[in-house]
Amino acid sequence: MPTLRTHFPLAPLGTAIAFLLCPSAWAQQSSAADASLPTVTVTTDSTPDGVVTQNRSATVGKSPATMHETPFAMSVIRVEQMREAGAKTVEDTLLYSSGVYAGRYGFDTRGDWAAVRGLSPSMYQDGLRSLYGFYNNVRPEIYTLSSVEVLKGPSSALYGQAELGGIVNVVSKQPQKTPAREIELQLGSHSRRQLAADFTGPLNADQTLLYRLVALGRKSNTQVDYVNDDALVLMPSLQWRPHADTRVNASFVHQQNDTKVSSQFLPYQGTLGAAPLGTIPSNRFAGEPNWDRYEMRKNELSLTWDQQLAPAWKLVGALRKTQSSSVTREIYTSVGPIPTAAGNIPRTVHAADRKTDVLGTDLRLEGTLHAGPTRHQLGFGVDHQNALWEEFNFFSQSGVGSFNLYNPVYGSVGSLNLSRLPLADRPDNKIVQTGFYATDHITWGPWIVSGAVRRDQARNQVLNLSTPNTVVRNTATTGRLGVMYQFSAGLAPYASVSNSFVPNLGTDGMASASYLKPTTGTQKEVGVKYLAPNGKTSAALAWFDIEQKNRVVDGATPGGREQIGAAIQGWELEARHRIGAWELMANYTQMDAVNASTGKRLSAIAERTASAWVERHFAGGWRVGLGGRFIGDLTGNGGAPVVPSVALYDAMVGYTTGGWDFRLNVKNLADKQYVSWCRGPNQDCGYGERLSASLTARYRF
């Protein structure tokens, strides 16, 4: 295993923090700013504190216990934090979280890419799985969210087929009793224009019927030429409270995103490696402006309910029906060829239409009972998912024509006729899974024991076109167990172990084909959490050891796949502090993430990341924020090439007066052009996000 290293170049950030923490400035401004803080940060969704989150419970944990009382690593990013840091995507919300490497594939319109403890997480929305297949899943608009939750490590005991890295769960806005209305206008780089509205409150005098209406429209270009980022969202919801023991929520989401694929798969020579004509600009579009498109649509109906059955017991349920679709037409530089001395390279033409039809349910009984000196917070549940993923109108051909990366001329793809491509149907995929689970959160004085066990039955099918369907059935029992001791001073050391399983579709693609085995894994974790008695300071330190088996990767034979293992060890630290006019966040993660067979680093994973955000509120409604992010070096497949580390800086200036709030955010303040990933030696690479500025005006009435 590589030797762990602790040094990283954050001196500029440290200097900035030291300046902001100047005692004289604190003495002059703290009292006045203290008085104005509530009007700056209060929202209709929660308490005014958007920094310290250990005193809150997380939906993704399926437990009423707070994060501080849970012997597992978790993070919650509140809407306040999203706004202040200028997040535009779910991926952006994770930039200041420990154990999470967000933006691992750079600037990308295809989706939100993140790694949790070196591995891909499962994506959930409101506690139900939301990601099926690939490139056909509409990205959640963060304006529709109240928080983003991260449960680190295996979570199969709670959610069934869950990736070893953990779960990222986005929590949608819900109707509120307190009337609130806001309109938000955002203007930004690349001609970004976004208008959004959020109205909520009661519909009748006795407040038994609540509503919320969230709407958003956006027209925008991006840092890549000819690539737009347009969106339309309409999300109405109702909450019915016929009496104190019953609460029913119904919501509908219509969302459409119109863009193009921003990832151009630019060659190593000209991005990370030297080229005769120099560096390829980060705005280069290698497709065809009049043909390329990436259009996504989603219609989703959700129903949740909370029924109190007795003083200590209630029934909680969720039902969601989702239909989504995408149309992909893209041209990009072919992977592998080296540009000529004149800068010419062949391209790849790719087309595909995709649809997903998903039904997800979760029903559980929750309650509390006392047995002698112990208190048990119990849960017994069953969940079910039925997902169909279809792919049709498919075409892919590499080595098409010749395209100049330095002097692009559009309109020709060689002899290929884009209007008459031989589009073909492709095999569909279907997943049907049912799981039964039980949880028990035991409190015995200062001791906490939290455990869960689950039994799953899953059937994964490949619906072939001309051959018999491929059916893989799996059953698995998974679990997790954690122990914590809470000291009166706020310290809480803990230890836990958990495991996961994910069935895999299809075969290894070899002549004597064998069905792929389920991917399994185990995590051991030891840590300590701290929550100050006044709730204004929190910290969490965790060491983890992850062993993954039967991870699916591309094989040595073209079209083949093989299964290998991964071994990951590391530690992470996060701290949150709020005092007077100051809000501070800091995170650091360090780990060894390697192929268990070869000992070489896992690709596209930064083994060292760090971030810090400092925000200062001043008298008169002003506030200033400064953030720094360090991304350590990473590698491509097989441990090469090495992509250098990078330090990036973000800034915010805000002003509040009356019902108005104005905020200027700048991401990548120095406008650094940097390579964020490379596939492998002499293959393709991608750029990270350049400078992006936005001015937001929000009016509440």
pLDDT tens per residue across span 662-692: 999 999 999 999 999 999 988 999 999 999 9
Q: Are 228 and 220 in contact (CB under 8 A)?
A: yes
Tokens of 505: 């579709």
Half-sphere exposure of 50 (CA within 13 A, CB side): 26
> Does the pLDDT value for residue 632 go beyond 80?
yes
Residues belonging to the chain: 701
State whether residue 280 is helix, strand or coil: coil
User: Where does the pLDDT of residue 41 fall: very low under 50, low under 70, confident under 90, or very high at 90 and above?
Assistant: very low
Q: What is the mean pLDDT of residues 154-170?
A: 82
Please tell me what DSSP assigns to residue 412.
-
User: Where does the pLDDT of residue 19 fall: very low under 50, low under 70, confident under 90, or very high at 90 and above?
Assistant: very low
Q: What is the C-alpha radius of gyration for the chain, rounded to an integer number of angstroms?
A: 25
Q: Identify which of 2, 116, 85, 17 has the alpha carbon closest to the alpha carbon of residue 669.
A: 85
More confident position, 12 or 261: 261
Amino acid at 692: S
Number of Cβ within 10 Å of residue 84's Cβ equals 23
| Alpha carbon distance 146, 4 (integer Å) | 37
Tell me, what's the pLDDT at 554? 64
State whether residue 528 is helix, strand or coil: strand
Across 109-118, 137-146, 582-591, which has the greatest mean pLDDT? 582-591
User: Where does the pLDDT of residue 205 fall: very low under 50, low under 70, confident under 90, or very high at 90 and above?
Assistant: very high
- Cα distances from 57 to residues 53, 62, 71, 75, in angstroms, run 8, 9, 13, 10
Q: Are 590 and 6 in contact (CB under 8 A)?
A: yes
Cα 105 to chain centroid, rounded: 13
Q: What is the mean pLDDT of residues 260-284?
A: 95
What letters, b where the CB count within 10 A reaches 16 and e where it falls short, cover 374-407? eebbbbebebebebbbbbebbeeeeebbebebbe
- pLDDT cut 70: percent of the chain above it: 89
More confident position, 266 or 10: 266
More confident position, 182 or 552: 182
> Tokens 């060659």 identify what position?
267
Tell me, what's the pLDDT at 134? 64
Which secondary-structure segment (H or E) carries 82? helix 79-84
> Does the pLDDT value for residue 340 go beyond 70?
yes
**Among 74-78, 110-114, 420-424, 554-558, the least confident range:** 554-558
Q: What is the mean pLDDT of residues 250-273?
A: 95
**Among 63-67, 353-357, 425-429, the least confident range:** 63-67
Q: Identify which of 605, 591, 499 has the alpha carbon closest to the alpha carbon of residue 549.
A: 499
Tell me, what's the pLDDT at 146? 94
Spell out the SS3 assignment of 543-578: EEEEEEEEEEEECCCCCCEEEEEEEEEEEEEEEEEE
> Does the pLDDT value for residue 37 go beyond 70?
no
Tell me, what's the pLDDT at 159? 80
Tell me, what's the pLDDT at 14? 39
Q: Identify which of 233, 235, 195 has the alpha carbon closest to the alpha carbon of residue 213.
A: 235
> Does the pLDDT value for residue 622 go beyond 50?
yes
State whether residue 595 is helix, strand or coil: strand
Q: What is the mean pLDDT of residues 320-332?
A: 95
Q: Are 60 and 604 in contact (CB under 8 A)?
A: no
Q: Are 364 and 62 in contact (CB under 8 A)?
A: yes
Tell me, what's the pLDDT at 597? 84
pLDDT tens per residue across span 292-313: 999 999 999 999 999 999 999 9
| Alpha carbon distance 351, 328 (integer Å) | 5
Helix, strand, coil % (nearest 5) of the chain?
10, 55, 35
Query: Across-strand partners of 246?
Result: 307
| Alpha carbon distance 140, 128 (integer Å) | 14
Tell me, what's the pLDDT at 6? 32
Q: Are 146 and 171 in contact (CB under 8 A)?
A: yes
Tell me, what's the pLDDT at 21? 34
Tell me, what's the pLDDT at 50? 59
Q: Are 254 and 274 in contact (CB under 8 A)?
A: no
Mean pLDDT of the chain: 88
Q: What is the mean pLDDT of residues 410-434?
A: 92
> Does the pLDDT value for residue 23 go beyond 70?
no
Q: Identify which of 157, 96, 148 has the alpha carbon closest to the alpha carbon of residue 125.
A: 148
User: Where does the pLDDT of residue 9 fall: very low under 50, low under 70, confident under 90, or very high at 90 and above?
Assistant: very low
Tell me, what's the pLDDT at 506? 62
Amino acid at 552: V
